[in-house]
Structure 1
Amino acid sequence: MNSKQLRQQPDIQIRRERIANGMATLKGNCRATVLCIPRHGYATTRTTIENLYANTAEPFVLLYVDIASPAVVREYLEEQARERENFLLVRIKDFVSRQTARLVVLDLITTPFTVFLDNNMLLADGWLDGLISSSERENAAVVSPFIVMQGGNVHFSGSRIERLPNGQYRRYQTTEACPSAAPLASVTPERMDIDFVESHCCLMRTDAYAPHIEELFIEAMHNAHTLAMASYQMKTRHGARMIIEPDVVASILPIGFGYDIPWLFASYNRLDWFRASYEVHEKLAGRTAYSVLDNLRWHRKHLLYLLFSMTEGERLTRNDLLAAHEIPTMLNGYDTPVPPHARGQIEKTVLPWIKRNAPEYLARAKAWIAEIDRIIENIDEMEARLARPARSRRLPTLRWPGFSRRSA
């Protein structure tokens, strides 16, 4: 279901009207709307919201789009919307993509700034004032914080698109001075112009994107590189300046519970959506030096990390939300190789849980965990054959759960 179809649903129409009314009657001088949506699931929802309010002195609107969360999360969000000022909530009952969720409400934002935030982020004290001040001081339409994994290892320190002699491009999200997974304490972040931001957390001037929502926030991007593509187009097509602000730090908290599994396989890791996303990406930005299947390997590593996180303690069976006192001081394995025993632990504990509690996702889980290497090799072979003269092409049909591709 796409965003236009969702907007026609009576319950979504009612929610949109409430949001529009809420935007017209905001309490306090709110300069920013924080648009928050699920990333890897729902377990970290409370930690992100509590951290957001604890570390934000600047008045703001929280516009939360809930995508088919389980009852314990839905009830928590409804309670927060009742009790907190300027907390606007819309719930989508279907497992739609993250981009679709944004497009249901993005046109309703009226504040001068919009913050795009995932629901597994922790923000440093004063973060919002820091991003707004940086935007105004540097005349930047888009500002990214310095992004680390929980504990301080570098994830995003500055982005660059390098055009290669063969017409392809290479994409970087860290700098030589602040490489991926380096401890924040050992590097010196710099304020610099960048070529794209990431959806973990970024600030945009609303008037810079609002006239171009359909052009920038392409629904077929679904869950992959959505904000990277939107911001890249803002810069290349509309001349928007984009910077990273090193004095503002945001941390990623990728932790999953068992109830996150339906989201992971029904939406976030849908392979047909990945395929569509990368086709749009290539059409707009050109062919990358990395194959689409290289990107699948990257997605697979993150999925393995999340599934492995569920094997800790009682996370698979918990029916509550991660609390602030449970936040680990350090997380490793998201941007670095997962532990060697992770796959075995997943097969021993997570797959049997899926078989008992969510059997409709078992085939997809097995495909990602056990079969994707073989499938990637097959598709890489297909890509190689495409480069041969037309007469020598003979391409197989490949089918597996959630993904199909036929070439001729």
Structure 2
Amino acid sequence: MNPLVTIVVVPRERFSYTHQSLTSIYQNTKFPFKLVYVDGNSPQPVKDYLEAQAKHKEFELIRTNYYLYPNQARNLGLAKVDTKYVVFADNDIVVQPGWLKALVDCAESDPKAAVVGPLMCQHEPIHEEIHCAGGESRIVVDVKGRRRMREKMYKQGHATKKWRSQMQRCETELCEFHCMLVKTSIFEELGYFDELMLNTKEHIDFCMDVMEAGYKVYFEPDSLVTYVPAVPLEWSDLHYYMLRWSDNWETKSLQRMREKWNLAEDSYFTQKHKALGWRRRDTILSPIVDKLTLGIDNRLLKKLVMFGLLAPVEKTLNHYLTSRHEQAHLQRRNNFPAQQMDVRELVRS
């Protein structure tokens, strides 16, 4: 049989969940598929594991010795896809049996369906708490004529058990890249993913591109997938996590989003800029604060340690790591004569 689907797995924000996630995909997916795994500079034990699994399960492994922007990683995988559909999956998801067939069935039900998202859950225990059940991503024009971003995820934080039985397949406007099925032919019209969207809002950008081209985004609740973040992180994940959620990458992504869609610099963006670094504070710094304050439940003390001591040091380190990565990235780009790096050329290299 020739599979209809290629699953492209890319790094999200850490590498330490690689084994659990890849095992889940193979154990819980009976629908035929190809797999392309993009490994962006994982630690040596993970690298060795992926090489062994690629040989054993006969999937294609793309390895770079540097960290990748999310859309950069997706483009590397996309260059290898020759099936009707492609599923972009982060490397920290767990899937429920039947997940892939449900996505394909939804896509096959409507010729205009270009993107299908599952009922996406979050955290452990898996499949119990909703992260995203479709949503809204559109531009609205206010009374002053300003173009403003409308973004909303449905049912986030609600119990899966309470709501799933009431959900039905439907058109939506938002699907996240934790797990997203896409009709491959759409890239012939839209081109590859925008690599100037470095780390955030790239799913909104893509979904709006799809809808603007006259195609549809669907939500399919019969497909159940969970992404599993971690607090605290393992030591080997810290460097990539800090880079992945750096202030620099997020600022540039928001700027690209605003300029590309001609959006007003309104409260949507000012709030995003004000909250820069919140993931790093919650995931990396908060566990350190708890240790330094000996578990004392004093909000003022913890705030003082966080913002008076740790946050300034972490921001300096974050700026250093980002600058070093950017210099290396520019050097790699300069090795190619074309202004825009061809991802297929990068794969071959």
Alignment of 1:253-272 (within 5 A): 253-255=228-230, 256-265=233-242, 267-272=243-248
Query: For the residues of structure 2 that align with 1:40 and 1:366, how far apart are their CA atoms?
Result: 24
Which segments of 5 or more consecutive residues in structure 1 lack a partner in the other structure? 1-27, 309-340, 350-364, 376-399
Q: 1:119 to 1:297 in 2, by over 3 A?
A: farther
Query: For the residues of structure 2 that align with 1:105 and 1:303, how far apart are their CA atoms?
Result: 27
Please state if 1:59 is matched with 2:59. no
Please state if 1:194 is matched with 2:167. no
Q: 1:305 to 1:55 in 2, by over 3 A?
A: farther
> Which residue is equivalent to 2:339?
none
- Tell whether the 8 Å contact from 1:198 to 1:225 is kept in structure 2 after alignment: no
Which whole-Å deviations, capped at 9, do the CAs of 1:176-202 have from their partners, x for residues lacking one? Answer: xxx321111222334322223211001
Provide the secondary structure at the position in 2 that maps to 1:173.
Answer: strand
What RMSD, in angstroms, separates the aligned Cα atoms of the two structures? 3.0
Taking structure 1 as the reference length, what is the TM-score of the superposition? 0.66
Paired residue type of 1:250 = V
Q: 1:303 to 1:198 in 2, by over 3 A?
A: same
- Provide the aligned length of Structure 1 versus Structure 2: 299
Which whole-Å deviations, capped at 9, do the CAs of 1:207-252 have from their partners, x for residues lacking one? Answer: 11244224xx11111121223211211111x111111111111111
Cα displacement (A) at 1:76: 0.4
Which segments of 5 or more consecutive residues in structure 2 lack a partner in the other structure? 295-305, 324-349
Paired residue type of 1:91 = R
- Tell whether the 8 Å contact from 1:304 to 1:369 is kept in structure 2 after alignment: no
- Tell whether the 8 Å contact from 2:245 to 2:279 is kept in structure 1 after alignment: no
> Which residue is equivalent to 1:14?
none
Provide the secondary structure at the position in 1 that maps to 2:16.
Answer: coil
Please state if 1:68 is matched with 2:41. yes
1:184 to 144, 160, 163: 160
Cα displacement (A) at 1:297: 5.8
- Tell whether the 8 Å contact from 2:118 to 2:180 is kept in structure 1 after alignment: yes
Cα displacement (A) at 1:101: 1.9
Q: 1:368 to 1:245 in 2, by over 3 A?
A: farther
Q: 1:211 to 1:138 in 2, by over 3 A?
A: closer
> Which residue is equivalent to 1:114?
86
Provide the secondary structure at the position in 2 that maps to 1:273.
Answer: helix
> Which residue is equivalent to 1:245?
220
Query: For the residues of structure 1 that align with 2:61 and 2:307, how far apart are their CA atoms?
Result: 35
Q: 1:49 to 1:279 in 2, by over 3 A?
A: same
Alignment of 1:108-257 (within 5 A): 108-139=80-111, 140-150=113-123, 151=125, 152-160=128-136, 161=138, 163-165=140-142, 166=144, 167-175=146-154, 179-187=155-163, 188-214=166-192, 217-236=193-212, 238-255=213-230, 256-257=233-234
Please state if 1:294 is matched with 2:239. no
Alignment of 1:387-398 (within 5 A): none
Cα displacement (A) at 1:37: 0.8
Please state if 1:90 is matched with 2:72. no
Provide the secondary structure at the position in 2 that maps to 1:254.
Answer: coil
Instruction: Give the percent of matched residue pairs that are identical in Structure 1 and Structure 2.
Output: 23
Q: 1:171 to 1:47 in 2, by over 3 A?
A: farther
Query: For the residues of structure 1 that align with 2:274 and 2:178, how far apart are their CA atoms?
Result: 20
- Tell whether the 8 Å contact from 1:113 to 1:206 is kept in structure 2 after alignment: yes
Provide the secondary structure at the position in 2 that maps to 1:65.
Answer: strand
- Tell whether the 8 Å contact from 2:94 to 2:226 is kept in structure 1 after alignment: yes
Cα displacement (A) at 1:305: 4.0
Cα displacement (A) at 1:89: 0.3
Cα displacement (A) at 1:291: 4.1
Q: 1:369 to 1:224 in 2, by over 3 A?
A: farther
Provide the secondary structure at the position in 2 that maps to 1:34.
Answer: strand
Paired residue type of 2:180 = C
Paired residue type of 2:311 = A
Provide the secondary structure at the position in 1 that maps to 2:109.
Answer: helix
Taking structure 2 as the reference length, what is the TM-score of the superposition? 0.77
- Tell whether the 8 Å contact from 1:141 to 1:240 is kept in structure 2 after alignment: yes
Query: For the residues of structure 2 that align with 1:241 and 1:368, how far apart are their CA atoms?
Result: 48
Provide the secondary structure at the position in 2 that maps to 1:172.
Answer: strand
- Tell whether the 8 Å contact from 1:107 to 1:210 is kept in structure 2 after alignment: no
Cα displacement (A) at 1:263: 0.6
Query: For the residues of structure 2 that align with 1:104 and 1:262, how far apart are their CA atoms?
Result: 22
Q: 1:367 to 1:153 in 2, by over 3 A?
A: farther
Cα displacement (A) at 1:102: 2.1
Cα displacement (A) at 1:105: 3.5
Alignment of 1:351-362 (within 5 A): none
